[in-house]
Structure 1
């Protein structure tokens, strides 16, 4: 859509002067500024040119928007878009596995923000088995090289898709008709990971062609990257509260070593046809596949908090000695996530109106397709000390001696997920002269989305083989053939965890033989049954219809828009309804020596509901002076609840525990609604310099909370009924989020420049804070303070940039143990430098996480550590070729 009645100053011409060939497409979706045809467009590359483009994008936007151009993305040592977004004011990123995966915006957790590719949703299927289907986007799927620009809309417009409380991220890809025919970019890199001590390749490139009359073009882009992940850590698998005296004791402790061979292949193509100035059609095709097979080994100290000799600091047992079981556990996982999308974008214009039609489909499938875990045990005399920044834990047994660990038990299963969506929309832009109004925009969009989760559990047959030659039963394997880890080639060496993560003999452990474990457990001679885990299987279908009308206005010293969006959601949540007289398992394959498991009654049921939200918004930009702008915005926004939370499931946990629990969904969970307000002042004191301050306020009508109830389940192992506490998401009290954003971008001259931004967020939940009800009264994803700072120098031959990203602690939701999970303060220093060998060839050196920052998680109190993860430093050396 074109803003034809926008008052433009001479600065508008600068847009054409700073746009490099790498920056194509709209920098902001609503308004493109046209440069007169007789103005010569000069290609300018480099950090300073990117700063100019970003500043101009922000200045001419009709809402509160921040952006990054392709040139800027290329200068960051970022391997996916989330890490690029972390440089923007108000955006935080999580790095559990050393690479940016999910983002928060202005204190709103990842599930309450939207990410769109060319304005459309991209299907997502999380690979990690502990992740549940949500509305957050997994950015590891998208390499930074895929996009030409990105914008973060912090104040909405009626024409933008609903679904975000914090912000809407729009990623723009390149278009072939915007580039010179024959444009070619190739990147060759090698990445060294300090933790894995492996060198991994990255190959990226794109080629763009168009015919002589510039009416037809094709762009092809590809990316192939490998990453050998090794994450060392220390974990406490939950803290138990003593209701009698208010003390806390740690559960099982362990030293996990997570390994992953991550292989990502991304293909993107854009085909563009524009036979006239009044018509254009663009077909975008994306296919991204990521194989993420992973293993996790853990040397475990079982329930040391149950020991008699404990030392407390405050209410927390942080030291202890005694004797207990020690175990060596190894998990093999076959995991993947595949995403594809096809998007057709058609523009048609007449003298009286312009029309845009978009059609498309996107699909994702993945998850953990196979998981097996073996656990062997022994005995040890332990002691632990969790005080200080580095815990000390001694197991009292040689963790590198496989003969010390006797045959134990085996479990496994799979958890595949899918995400499918088809959509269509039509938008109209009608120029008008109605007082201050210059255009009326209106349109309709329809989306049909289905999200599914399957869940299967494996059980191994424990009978004894009768022929004596085929040891296909686990009882025989674990009791005689492989009764210790020293046999059956199960242990193939030793490993250790760094002393800067944890001290003590627990850091020394065995190295597994995954191939042998898979052969014994799942190979052709293995005998096991497959059961549907009924309580975790669901399907959610949403049919979403949105209508909007928006009026754009402008005058001599102001501009903006006002509009309203109406969003209707028809929701069908389906799952199994079954009697409680079983383990919630249904045997579907090879019961063998085991009995068939099945509940007495079983039915696939669907719960349906519909709701409609009316979402008005207003944006005003006022030219306080030639170089100063004041912005005001107000809007009502919404975010739909997570798919997992609205599934009709009830999944009991271990019924043999002292206090058994179960997890349930709530199909009647309401969306989160917020009324938000922004006030901004922006001072453009040079063409590449900016100082801006923004105040924001969000009135949240309802935060999600947890309701509990009791339900009886039949424990087949003990042939008795057990009462479990069922936790179910519910609509809770509302709250407020108040914040301030301040950003500075300053061109110092002579090739030097600095930029910095700071965000203060005060997020409050009006719900009662009850420590006995984990998560109550808290807001997920909100760090009180976030800071970004960078400095650069560049000349015609050389550029260098250092970047620091920091955020204070934030609440992440509930831990797998049911306790509250917090992430401690996190700061990361990155570095990049580029040397231009020729006009077309440059050499790049990058360093990520130079300070070797660790991810530290705790349970509400910093003294109750839950995990310390070290992902290590990474270094990249490569070359870029541009033709």
Structure 2
């Protein structure tokens, strides 16, 4: 395989997609003229749904906002058209700027993963983890609030939001993304708010049943996994009123394989040092800027995910004015991989070139190819696991004593747990000769012995060459989060006049978070466990047959590593006696491994809705303010290790110092702050089809609990004589706040036809960055100074940009051609924010965009929906972005992700009104993901993931 071919294929796809989008936007005027909207209907009737205003904020017990069986009975719309129609109606009629995705059928969002479904929405960009979407940013900001049915939801891992890869998408009726909120929506996301909507029994007329079964095939992993969903719902008239019960169960088992080839960071050869000058001379580069990588490596990750989702909803309507809803939502997520990684690298230590071999460079002095000698090797076999369970219990009462007055009471208890584990068995060897090549293609890694340049595999597959004992790294973590929430909302509507309604509400939360995270315990092996080793033969299979890597290596047995207890028991005979019992017992937590947080919020809001239909340009909107007081308490420990005399040097008679006994000193801090968050939303309806929205608001995002962690580890003894260093959190961090301005022009020319354009501006205050400063500590023989790195609120940042998009079906075409349609959107986001962590190879500060932000992104989706056949082909593309301003092991360089595009597709055939078959595929273009250090000529990694093909049978009654 030509290593450059995937990149060229992606470039061709981007050019084709860009040209297609341009042609599409020009052609939209044709269907706009050819398709007529039924102006006799209200926008809600055209969409087939009447979503309650502020549904996410009021946790409406009516639930999903999706069309019920009786709505829009005069016009029946099904399939993809129905989902687009409902989503368009929500956007058109909402009180705020909102975009939605709606399941066209029970258990059938357009994508199986919630994050991957969100990437189709204008302004949303996703991050991927081992081939699946895992997290999102809205308009360049990753500080996004997540909700289920308008209530808090989180994954207990030190953050504040739900990990979107945890939830089976089959549980959802739809997803709403609010980009500029109103005062009745819960605060917490300067990027935006994502509300996941489940179904309720009163969404259906009576008995409803749905079941689906899926087989997923993953081509790199070469395995097939199951997936299933079952929903049963019914409602009954009884002597005590109407009662409805819904049970929705979802199960997913997925697999993945990720192949990776990585270069180590590039370091500048410094002519001012003796070693740097000598190396430059040996390479014939004296007087020329030269950058060398410090090694290269390969990795193969083999893993599985398992999701179980449960949604049980009970509704009771004892009278026409009272509706009670109780619901239990649970997500149970397991993630695991065992990987082989094989690195020849020197870390921060200089690498030694073979001066007799040829070297090549680009015009800026960046290494392209060459040979190095005596490079240390690590052959690692590892295990990583995460298990997260979130249980959400809620009770809602909605009372409408009159046609004008609605009183809504809501109570929620949510509990989340996350257990994590990471363990690595390390073998050591040496590369006598390492040939490395980088550039626009995949990095090359060829290792050979000095005496036989053709027999690298003989070296790497000989266990005797791994005689230097390695080690074992072990880390465990556990987080528990709990929250109690109560809220009361009152809404009063007026019959006539400019004032339409007044709403007010109060909300209280009591949240606690306890996280234990052990240090990485290291156990040095006293000898190599040869009996536990195995050859790992890649056999030309790694990276889809790429040949510029070793044929195979020796590694620790992966089957043992996948069993945590078995690994420790197997390695116990190979560690020192003083470490053996600790290894057998497993990692324990020290007092300063625990981070304890408590948080209470007290919120009140007022919202006024208004409108004037008799003006030349009808106008409506809302204005309000949300006031929230937050009280935070943190608790932890300072681990203080004094210097102590451990002996006397027999040669000099001088004392020898080491570490004395550790003392754990309690730490604690309380803080509080009050913020007023005003908002204004206006809509001007120029015609029944054309409307302009203007919005202004202030939003906040609270710091993650991990950033508030006060724990710190201080060691007085300083044998190296350099700077003492320590890292900690900051219990006094204040929230990020954003002043937001939005304008959106929307034209709805048909039930499933619209175009829109939006501009936005955000001024963010208090971006959090890690800052290092010198602090004085006084214990032991102190005082002494330490360079402490802790998060601080930094300067302001600005985000601005625009969005354009739309969707239509070509109904003006004849016959079967009228089933074709298209969706498209494009987003431009520009940011300016401080990045004190970003440095170049000389230590100079770099200016980089916000992390995870692509300046350009777009979606192009071709649709067909006619008769029993429904199909989609979707291309999603985003430009380069900063992964991190200072990557682990990157030599303080920022790491960029290169531009990336991916094609997904699905086709459904409805065999009968109650039975359908779907075939879909993910990553059909076999897209590579590439990263680089600072500039594209210094590649970091090239990654390939599975292509997935699935077959689903779905029954609905």
TM-score by length of 2: 0.81
The residue that corresponds to 1:218 in the other structure is 245
Q: Does 1:781 align with 2:852?
A: yes
Deviation at 1:422, TM superposition (A): 1.6
The residue that corresponds to 1:494 in the other structure is 537
Deviation track 1:560-596 (CA, whole Å, cap 9, x = no partner) reads 100001121111122211214389xxxxxxxxxxxx9
Q: Does 1:337 align with 2:388?
A: yes
Deviation at 1:546, TM superposition (A): 1.5
Question: 5+ unaligned residues in a row in structure 1: which ranges?
Answer: 1-7, 127-132, 463-473, 584-595
The residue that corresponds to 2:121 in the other structure is 88
The residue that corresponds to 1:403 in the other structure is 464
| 1:663/1:10 CA distance change after superposition, 3 Å | farther
The residue that corresponds to 1:264 in the other structure is 307
Q: Does 1:666 align with 2:718?
A: no
Contact 2:263–2:293, Cα closer than 8 Å, also in 1: yes
> Among 615, 630, 636, which residue is 1:575 paired with?
636
Deviation track 1:697-724 (CA, whole Å, cap 9, x = no partner) reads 111223222311246999x9xx999987
> Among 389, 393, 405, which residue is 2:445 paired with?
393
Q: Flag the structure with larger Rg.
A: 2
| Segment drifting more, 739-748 vs 66-75 | 66-75
| 1:322/1:372 CA distance change after superposition, 3 Å | closer
> Among 420, 428, 440, which residue is 2:490 paired with?
428
| 1:461/1:504 CA distance change after superposition, 3 Å | closer
| 1:102/1:395 CA distance change after superposition, 3 Å | same
| Segment drifting more, 232-241 vs 604-613 | 232-241
Deviation at 1:243, TM superposition (A): 7.3
Deviation track 1:758-798 (CA, whole Å, cap 9, x = no partner) reads 00111112677864366765412221111011011122211
Deviation at 1:107, TM superposition (A): 0.7
Indicate the SS of the match to 2:902.
Answer: strand
Q: Does 1:374 align with 2:446?
A: no
Structure 2 CA distance, aligned partners of 1:255 and 1:696? 42
Deviation at 1:14, TM superposition (A): 6.1
| Segment drifting more, 731-740 vs 245-254 | 245-254
Q: Does 1:12 align with 2:42?
A: yes
The residue that corresponds to 2:276 in the other structure is none
Contact 2:140–2:852, Cα closer than 8 Å, also in 1: yes
Contact 2:57–2:185, Cα closer than 8 Å, also in 1: no
Deviation at 1:373, TM superposition (A): 2.8
Indicate the SS of the match to 1:108.
Answer: coil
Structure 2 CA distance, aligned partners of 1:866 and 1:656? 34
The residue that corresponds to 1:812 in the other structure is 883
The residue that corresponds to 2:99 in the other structure is 66
Contact 2:96–2:681, Cα closer than 8 Å, also in 1: yes
Indicate the SS of the match to 1:145.
Answer: helix
> Among 796, 821, 824, which residue is 1:734 paired with?
796
Over aligned residue pairs, what C-alpha RMSD do you find?
3.5
Q: Does 1:120 align with 2:151?
A: yes
| 1:509/1:33 CA distance change after superposition, 3 Å | closer
The alignment covers a number of residue pairs equal to 832
Q: Does 1:544 align with 2:587?
A: no
The residue that corresponds to 2:805 in the other structure is 743
| 1:370/1:735 CA distance change after superposition, 3 Å | closer
Contact 2:56–2:150, Cα closer than 8 Å, also in 1: no
| 1:249/1:536 CA distance change after superposition, 3 Å | farther
Deviation at 1:380, TM superposition (A): 3.0
1:224-623 alignment runs, 5 A limit = 224-240=251-267, 248-303=291-346, 306-308=351-353, 312-313=361-362, 314=364, 316-323=366-373, 324-351=375-402, 353-369=405-421, 371-396=423-448, 397-398=456-457, 399-406=460-467, 407-432=469-494, 436-457=498-519, 474-475=525-526, 478=527, 482=529, 487-491=530-534, 493-495=536-538, 498-499=542-543, 503-506=547-550, 508-510=552-554, 512-517=556-561, 518=564, 521-523=567-569, 526=572, 527-529=580-582, 530-532=587-589, 536-556=593-613, 557-581=618-642, 599-623=661-685
| Segment drifting more, 566-575 vs 501-510 | 501-510
Deviation at 1:349, TM superposition (A): 1.4
Structure 2 CA distance, aligned partners of 1:774 and 1:44? 57
Indicate the SS of the match to 1:523.
Answer: helix
The residue that corresponds to 2:919 in the other structure is 845
Deviation at 1:201, TM superposition (A): 0.5
Contact 1:539–1:573, Cα closer than 8 Å, also in 2: yes
Deviation at 1:442, TM superposition (A): 0.8
Deviation at 1:660, TM superposition (A): 7.8
Structure 2 CA distance, aligned partners of 1:841 and 1:770? 58
The residue that corresponds to 1:129 in the other structure is none
Contact 1:641–1:669, Cα closer than 8 Å, also in 2: yes
| 1:75/1:364 CA distance change after superposition, 3 Å | closer
Structure 2 CA distance, aligned partners of 1:260 and 1:451? 29
| 1:74/1:243 CA distance change after superposition, 3 Å | farther
Structure 2 CA distance, aligned partners of 1:454 and 1:531? 10
Deviation at 1:170, TM superposition (A): 1.0
| 1:39/1:451 CA distance change after superposition, 3 Å | closer
Deviation at 1:519, TM superposition (A): 5.8
Structure 1 CA distance, aligned partners of 2:786 and 2:494? 64
Greater fraction strand: 1
Structure 2 CA distance, aligned partners of 1:234 and 1:782? 24
| 1:795/1:722 CA distance change after superposition, 3 Å | farther
Indicate the SS of the match to 1:211.
Answer: strand
Q: Does 1:826 align with 2:900?
A: yes
| 1:166/1:13 CA distance change after superposition, 3 Å | closer
The residue that corresponds to 1:689 in the other structure is 753
Indicate the SS of the match to 2:461.
Answer: coil
The residue that corresponds to 1:764 in the other structure is 832
| 1:739/1:434 CA distance change after superposition, 3 Å | same
The residue that corresponds to 2:909 in the other structure is 835
Indicate the SS of the match to 2:336.
Answer: strand
The residue that corresponds to 1:593 in the other structure is none
| 1:807/1:505 CA distance change after superposition, 3 Å | closer
The residue that corresponds to 1:753 in the other structure is 821
Contact 2:168–2:251, Cα closer than 8 Å, also in 1: no
Q: Does 1:102 align with 2:135?
A: yes
Deviation at 1:412, TM superposition (A): 1.1
Indicate the SS of the match to 1:454.
Answer: strand
Indicate the SS of the match to 1:779.
Answer: coil
Contact 1:632–1:679, Cα closer than 8 Å, also in 2: yes
Deviation at 1:696, TM superposition (A): 0.5
Structure 2 CA distance, aligned partners of 1:866 and 1:256? 13
Deviation track 1:220-248 (CA, whole Å, cap 9, x = no partner) reads 11111111221111234545466778865
Contact 1:226–1:262, Cα closer than 8 Å, also in 2: yes
Contact 1:122–1:363, Cα closer than 8 Å, also in 2: no
Indicate the SS of the match to 2:132.
Answer: coil
| 1:380/1:277 CA distance change after superposition, 3 Å | farther
| 1:799/1:605 CA distance change after superposition, 3 Å | same
| 1:707/1:97 CA distance change after superposition, 3 Å | same
Indicate the SS of the match to 2:343.
Answer: strand
Contact 1:694–1:742, Cα closer than 8 Å, also in 2: yes
Indicate the SS of the match to 1:626.
Answer: coil
Structure 2 CA distance, aligned partners of 1:340 and 1:88? 28
1:132-147 alignment runs, 5 A limit = 133-147=158-172
Deviation at 1:414, TM superposition (A): 0.9
The residue that corresponds to 2:187 in the other structure is 162
Indicate the SS of the match to 2:708.
Answer: coil
Indicate the SS of the match to 1:88.
Answer: coil
